[in-house]
A = this chain, B = another copy of it.
């Protein structure tokens, strides 16, 4: 038996117009407003079912395969949790243990791992111009496999972070904002500052800031992007953000300082990333296997980064935000000054004040991924959810 909240959310989900069956979740801007809303609602429903200890096992077998081409803790475990939540078996494709290095083509491997597979989750965020391209290759391979009868059913892909977007993160962040502001309507006109922040490391992907400006502009938010000169994002993504804002009645603008972005902000998201131009050079050097070039580039970048040490989210800057009480967000792990590094993205005091909030933010991710799985695999996901309520008597 479901609670009133649950019944209400299930009804709302039923009301949405979506076409997600057998599709992939690669970039949020490839999804309609209703599809994003459905993902949020399904995540909220699964979260509530877990809170009420109602089983969410809708599958009775099937694999969820993850391919991680970069390190990961929270996304890796979020994916594992999502699989367990729905009743899928987890299998990781460890490219070192496979014969992939020995000349297998992507299209062959993609089919080989898909005969009994519902979901393929991929993280490929190291090389600019590569991650999303690789995912599309896998997607096209399994499409061919299904069309030619190799696969009984084409698995659905979930982007676990690429060079362009990090949709499971951005969607988890959206659920967090919904929790803060109560509803999609509550997001309208709210000011979000997505700003670069200093870090003693270099080469962090652009996908989080790109994911945030690409998604939050869909819901009428006033999104401000701030970064030092030369730290721009992929130009096309900034264009998408501008277009989204125009359509949703929000706004998207770029400013030159963290301070300016923070002024009157309801939400701040200060995070380090590598300059677009540097990522392009880095991708080239990595492909060439040019180690001295990479060392040289790192040195140059860290020296350049060091000029922007003042881009730290601290108590002083937080005072500039709405009533000094903006919501601080981060995808974690943050570079915390005096904790995980000498000087970093955020002061110890500000992080500690919002630490538990950032954990809650992260806690949405397993449910968001499970929602993506559910919506892409069931002809009628709402009925599948309602069945859970019945069997829990």
Contact = CB atoms under 8 A, between A and B. Distances in A.
A99 B73 contact: yes
A51, A73, A88 — which one has the most chain B CB atoms within 10 A of its CB? A73
A83 B63 CA distance: 10
A237 interface: no
Contacts of A99: 71-73, 333
A89 B363 CA distance: 19
A145 interface: yes
A109 interface: yes
Interface stretch (A20-28, A90-98, A127-135, A287-295): A90-98
B73 A112 contact: yes
A151 B97 CA distance: 31
Contacts of A109: 73
A62 B62 CA distance: 16
Given A90-B89, A111-B359, A81 B103 contact: no
Contact of A356 (B89, B105, B150): B150
Contacts of A173: none
Nearest to A117: B81
Contacts of A332: 108, 112
Contacts of A100: 73
A39 B219 CA distance: 53
Interface string A31-74: 00000000000000000001101011100111101001001111
Nearest to A47: B152
A285 interface: no
Given A62-B84, A91-B90, A116-B85, A333 B77 contact: no
Interface string A342-365: 000000000000001001101101
Nearest to A91: B80
Given A74-B112, A99-B73, A105-B339, A150 B333 contact: no
A186 interface: no
**Most B CB atoms within 10 A — which of A63, A149, A151?**
A63
A341 interface: yes
A163 interface: no
Contacts of A30: none
A76 B115 CA distance: 13
A140 to B, nearest CB: 14
Contacts of A63: 77, 80-81, 84
Contacts of A83: 89
Contact of A151 (B65, B340, B363): B363
Given A60-B55, A61-B55, A341-B103, A359 B73 contact: no
A113 B77 contact: yes
B150 A360 contact: yes
A60 B78 CA distance: 18
25 contacts: A51-B152, A53-B153, A55-B60, A55-B61, A61-B86, A63-B77, A63-B84, A65-B77, A68-B97, A71-B98, A72-B97, A74-B112, A84-B89, A84-B91, A89-B89, A102-B201, A102-B333, A103-B341, A105-B340, A108-B332, A111-B359, A115-B362, A115-B365, A144-B356, A150-B363
Given A71-B102, A108-B332, A148-B356, 20 more contacts: A63-B84, A71-B98, A77-B112, A80-B89, A80-B91, A81-B115, A81-B117, A84-B88, A85-B116, A89-B90, A90-B91, A102-B201, A102-B333, A103-B333, A103-B339, A104-B340, A105-B339, A115-B362, A149-B360, A151-B363
